[in-house]
Amino acid sequence: MKSRVTDRNKNIYSGVAISIILIATPFLFYIYKFAPSDSTEWNTIFGIFKSNGFGNMQAFTHALFTKITFLTLTIIWFLTARNWWKYAILVPLTMFLFQLSGIINWELKYIDEYDFWYSLPFILPIVLFLIYLSYRISKNKDYYSEIDNNAKEEIHRMFSDDL
């Protein structure tokens, strides 16, 4: 009995934590408004941040927190998904990780184009695996459907004989 209460508490705490993160994500989009628009450096309590090749700190902060927001939401989606296709979420997750690395690596001129081509070797195996998995599921779907129908008929016959 005690383990059920503990598990329930863990679920409540993780649900509250995820809810707080989800509620806070829209505010991440607006952090860039606090960054200076006329400077390439921003002195905060966390240290000095540089604009890494962007025109000013506001542009850099906007690009950075946009990618961080999408990355956070995608990670939460992946961790909380219970469907068999949850691994398809790894495709945009990989793209966001590469785009974030492109923003941090300021020497790149075309961030999103760079990210697509470099993330392709990671995305292709995931897509091929999902195609294979969907093929296997659709191939066996009729077999499992027939077994399910037979089991339902058997249960129906067992209960109707007793009455």
Task: Say yes or no: 50 and 90 in one domain.
Answer: no
Task: Say yes or no: 98 and 136 in one domain.
Answer: yes
Task: Say yes or no: 107 and 152 in one domain.
Answer: yes
Task: Say yes or no: 95 and 133 in one domain.
Answer: yes
Task: Say yes or no: 23 and 67 in one domain.
Answer: yes
87: nearest Cα among 139, 121, 132: 132
CA distance 126 to 69: 23
Give the model confidence (pLDDT) of 85-115 as tens digits: 777 888 888 888 888 887 887 665 555 555 5
40: nearest Cα among 22, 58, 13: 58
Higher pLDDT, 121 or 72: 72
Note the Cα 158 to chain centre separation in Å: 46
Domain containing residue 42: 1-80
pLDDT at 68 over 80: yes
